[in-house]
C-alpha cells in the first residue's frame, strides 16, 4: 500500500494520527514522520501494522479490547500476536505475525534496498551487489582511530574554508545509484553536494576510508576496493590496526596500491598531500588500547603490483 493510499483511507475513516497510533500500535512520532514524508521507507512491520489498522477496520474495535492492550503492534519484533477481538458484538479469533525481516525467502545476491530498509535499527548491515553483510559492533580502538582521523580531516577542511564535507559512519551511500548496493564507509569526503539527500548520499564520495576489523577484513580489502574504484571514488584508504599498516589507492596513479607502516605522516592526494594524517598517533592509540580479541599478526609479505589487490596473506580465506 502506498503512502497516498494510506492517506486516502485515513481521511475516509476520519482517523487522527493519535487514533491511528492507538489502533495500530505504531508510535505517534513515527506516524508523523511517515505521513509528512520525512520517512520515505517505513519498516516492513510498521507498514503491515498500518495496513491492518486501515484496511481491516481495527479502529472499530471495542474500547474494552484496546484497554486490554491487545492492539496490533504492541509486541516485540518476531512475536506472534494473539487475541479475541469484538467486531459489532461478534467475537472472532485473529492471529497475525509481525517480523522485522524481508518479505519472502531470498538468497544472498537477491536482496534489494527494500530488504535493507526492513532491518531492525539495532542490526547494522551493508548491502553490496544484493548480498547482506552483517557488521559487528566496532571496538574501542576502531572508534578511537575513527574519531581522531575524522577530526584531523574536518579541522583541515575548516581551516581552508573548503567546500567538501567530511562525514563518519553510519551514513548510507547508494554507491552505484541502484537498488542492490548501500554501503557505510567509516569516513568519507564528499565534494559534490548535489549527491546529498535527507536519507544519505546518492553516488560515489570523493574519498573513502575503512578501518579494518576482524569481521570486515576481506570485504574491505577486496569487495569494497572493487566497488569504490568502479564507482569512481577518487581515493581509498585502508587502516588495519591488527597489522599496523595503511594502504592507499588513488586515481592519480591509476589505483596502484601504496603500503605504509603506521609511522610518520601521510598526505591525502585529494588535497595534493597538504592534508596530513599522523600515523604515529594512530599507532599510539593501538598501543595504548590494544584490541585484545585475538593475537596481533604481522604481515610478512604484501604483493604490490599495478592492477592487483593488496591482500595480507594471513586474512582468513
10 Å CB burial of residue 157 (0-12, 13-18, 19+) is middle
Looking at CATH, the fold of the domain delimited by 3-97 is given as 434 Repressor (Amino-terminal Domain) (1.10.260)
Per the CB < 8 A criterion, the answer to whether 91 and 97 are in contact is no
At the second CATH level, the architecture of 113-288 is Alpha-Beta Complex (3.90)
The residue ranges of every structural domain in the chain are 3-97, 113-288
CA distance linking residue 288 with residue 137, whole number of Å: 20
Per the CB < 8 A criterion, the answer to whether 229 and 249 are in contact is yes
pLDDT digits (tens, 9 = 90+) for 117-145: 888 877 889 999 999 998 878 889 999 99
Residues of the chain with pLDDT > 70, as a percent, come to: 75
Residue 179: partners with Cβ closer than 8 Å, 6 or more residues away: 112, 113, 114
Distances 135 to 75, 149, 237 between C-alpha atoms, Å: 26, 21, 19
Reply yes or no on whether the pLDDT at 51 is more than 50: yes
Residues of the chain with pLDDT > 90, as a percent, come to: 47
State the virtual CA torsion across 147, 258, 202, 38 in degrees, nearest 10.
Answer: -10
Closest CA to 195 of 204, 186, 187, 182: 204
Amino acid at each position: 500500500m502506498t503512502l497516498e493510499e494510506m492517506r486516502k483511507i485515513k481521511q475516509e475513516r476520519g482517523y487522527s494520527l493519535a487514533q491511528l497510533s492507538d489502533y495500530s500500535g505504531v508510535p505517534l512520532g513515527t506516524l508523523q514522520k511517515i505521513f509528512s514524508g520525512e520517512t520515505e521507507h517505513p519498516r516492513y512491520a510498521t507498514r503491515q501494522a498500518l495496513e491492518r489498522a486501515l484496511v481491516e477496520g481495527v479502529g472499530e474495535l471495542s474500547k474494552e479490547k484496546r484497554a486490554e492492550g491487545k492492539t496490533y503492534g504492541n509486541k516485540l519484533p518476531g512475536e506472534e500476536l494473539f487475541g479475541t477481538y469484538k467486531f459489532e458484538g461478534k467475537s472472532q479469533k485473529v492471529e497475525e505475525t509481525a517480523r522485522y525481516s524481508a518479505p519472502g525467502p531470498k538468497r544472498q545476491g537477491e536482496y534489494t534496498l527494500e530488504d535493507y530498509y526492513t532491518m531492525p535499527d539495532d542490526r547494522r548491515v551493508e548491502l553490496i551487489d544484493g548480498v547482506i553483510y552483517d557488521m559487528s559492533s566496532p571496538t574501542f580502538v576502531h572508534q578511537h582511530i575513527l574519531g581522531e582521523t575524522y577530526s584531523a580531516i574536518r579541522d583541515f577542511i575548516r581551516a581552508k574554508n573548503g567546500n567538501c564535507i567530511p562525514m563518519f559512519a553510519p551514513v548510507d551511500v547508494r554507491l552505484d545509484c541502484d537498488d542492490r548496493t548501500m554501503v557505510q564507509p567509516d569516513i568519507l569526503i564528499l565534494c559534490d553536494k548535489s549527491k546529498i539527500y535527507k536519507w544519505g548520499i546518492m553516488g560515489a564520495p570523493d574519498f573513502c576510508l575503512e578501518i579494518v576489523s576482524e569481521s570486515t577484513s576481506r570485504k574491505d580489502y577486496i569487495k569494497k576496493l572493487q566497488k569504490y574504484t568502479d564507482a569512481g571514488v577518487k581515493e581509498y584508504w585502508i587502516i588495519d590496526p591488527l597489522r599496523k599498516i595503511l594502504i592507499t589507492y588513488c586515481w592519480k596513479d591509476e589505483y596502484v596500491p601504496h603500503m605504509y607502516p603506521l609511522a610518520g605522516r601521510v598526505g591525502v592526494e585529494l588535497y595534493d598531500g597538504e592534508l596530513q594524517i599522523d600515523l604515529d598517533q594512530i599507532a599510539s592509540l593501538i598501543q595504548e588500547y590494544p584490541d585484545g580479541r585475538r593475537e596481533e599478526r604481522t604481515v610478512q609479505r604484501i604483493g604490490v603490483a599495478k592492477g592487483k589487490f593488496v591482500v595480507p596473506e594471513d586474512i582468513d580465506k
